[in-house]
Structure 1
């Protein structure tokens, strides 16, 4: 999403000051830079790329204004919404665990009775799903309910879930390698006795139905890491089980080698999907930077937070797992009393920590921005 435009570019945009406010607040809206009047309406006649650009920019302006106009009622509503969503995420987690137990039982029966390599591959995937979903449920439970030792874990254990996801994805990649080996062995084997019965088809169909229901539920909560990983799991299972069943049927009734080829393709799919997930989560845990739009929003918040803020020196935000740490350096007059500068910095910190996805914010106050970096990396 495009960052905040420079002031000359904003001034060049068409005026839409008559546009009604979309924020339901009981106090006058804070808009010191006049961003509200720069929201561009009537985009239907614009070119698709132009319309897409201004739609993103309008959304960004709304987010900036909302971040500066959070009254207590809106904040409490947001907290209530998050609490309600947390309950839904727990339902998704435990429901997914139960679904994976059911799926593994059905897959185990189907794989043993049919002797199909493709179905053995999907059964192995179901077993790993069962173990990993149990691990994820435990990680989520630790994050929510275990009282953290403030000395042993000064900032809590919110990253436990991310570590669990990386372990989960690594196990799935290891499983996929084993599936590739077994499928190649099946292609070179002279014995081919797979047979898919109507009972096997019925079991897989029931499993697909349960997975489809859980996918639809988890997809509505995909902005939560825990629900998103389960949604990915259910989507993969739907594809793998449907594909595995099709390959097993073709291997039984058309050509025998289609079945081990199906197992090979299933293994490759698992490897690609979960290797990508592991890399993505590892980048978040290592501390990749936040997106440009979020950095621009933080810059705007620091700019207009208080008239005593003279300059915004540094704005930095980086991931610590799914959530983010924020560092902001602002410049105030050197004659500002300590109690005033403290209150300005603390209020900005509280405001930033109320933003979605921010775990902790640090605000540093200086009297000059002409100075070398205050934190030097240990290595380049």
Structure 2
């Protein structure tokens, strides 16, 4: 809660500095802070929606809602970043002079940006050494600090050396933001298309299945593929062909429950068989 309030206060200060300075580089830095606030809200909102799922309307849950929200947000980020780049290019080729700040206004803008930078360093980076859970959060704000410094330096260079330094700084920040969110979008695309888990994870699942019950004669197939932030798992186990249905059912059901107790598994499907010489179950008829 403290971090959110601090973020909003610092963002308001950056908005004021952007208006007073007219610097595209500072606007780009402020936009990045806005995106951080919005992304946090999207993550909270989608997590809330996933926790209120309806098994009748959403029989397989809402695990894909969060990556879908991130993809939509990444598209907005790319659009805003492109707009900043286009505006920066326009100002680079024009003769507009955007820096008519008085000494007092310049000191105010510099003071605000340095104050925002210092607060983020003290509040977030200091807490990273105190609480393990916020280390990643603090690292993100450390990068925000660097972007604030780049925006401030670009504005000062534009005022005292060359007007083109400000749009150049804005382009650098916009490209960095687009690149960061493009990588985030790509990660979430992989989680939506059902990408297979890594070999080590599959080996872990195979070991768990093999040691589940002494009656298991073979492990035919083990699949794990992404389903939003979690995985779906499919397992084919081989049991004795003369085993009673009730006993075979209990072995399969208990294995399913054991797999679904793992924190990153959404659903597990266990198929029972008595031989493993047939083709893999649910094999697609046509390869794309």
* Normalised TM-score (structure 1): 0.68
1:178 aligns to what?
83
Distance 1:162 1:192 in 2: 43
1:156 aligns to what?
61
Matched, 1:119 2:26: yes
Distance 1:118 1:179 in 2: 9
Compared CA separation, residues 114 and 275, structure 1 to 2 (3 A): same
Cα deviation for residue 97 of structure 1 reads 4.0
The counterpart of 1:136, out of the listed 30, 34, 43, is: 43
The counterpart of 1:169, out of the listed 44, 50, 74, is: 74
Distance 1:174 1:96 in 2: 27
Give the 3-state SS of the residue equivalent to 1:312 in structure 2: strand
The counterpart of 1:243, out of the listed 150, 168, 171, is: 150
Greater displacement, 159-168 / 119-128: 119-128
Cα deviation for residue 334 of structure 1 reads 0.6
Give the 3-state SS of the residue equivalent to 1:280 in structure 2: helix
Count of matched residue positions in the alignment of Structure 1 and Structure 2: 280
Distance 2:119 2:76 in 1: 24
Give the 3-state SS of the residue equivalent to 1:309 in structure 2: coil
Cα deviation for residue 96 of structure 1 reads 5.1
Matched, 1:338 2:245: yes
1:201 aligns to what?
110
Distance 2:249 2:157 in 1: 72
| Greater relative CO, 1 or 2 (CA 8 Å, sep 6+) | 2
1:253 aligns to what?
160
- Calculate the aligned-residue CA RMSD, in Å: 2.5
1:349 aligns to what?
256
Matched, 1:320 2:224: no
State whether residues 151 and 169 of structure 2, in contact with CA within 8 Å, keep that contact through their aligned partners in structure 1: yes
State whether residues 7 and 37 of structure 2, in contact with CA within 8 Å, keep that contact through their aligned partners in structure 1: yes
After superposition, give the CA deviation of every residue in 1:337-357 in whole Å (9 maximum; x if it has no partner): 111111111221122122231
Compared CA separation, residues 327 and 335, structure 1 to 2 (3 A): same
Matched, 1:263 2:174: no
Cα deviation for residue 235 of structure 1 reads 4.7
1:277 aligns to what?
184
* Normalised TM-score (structure 2): 0.88
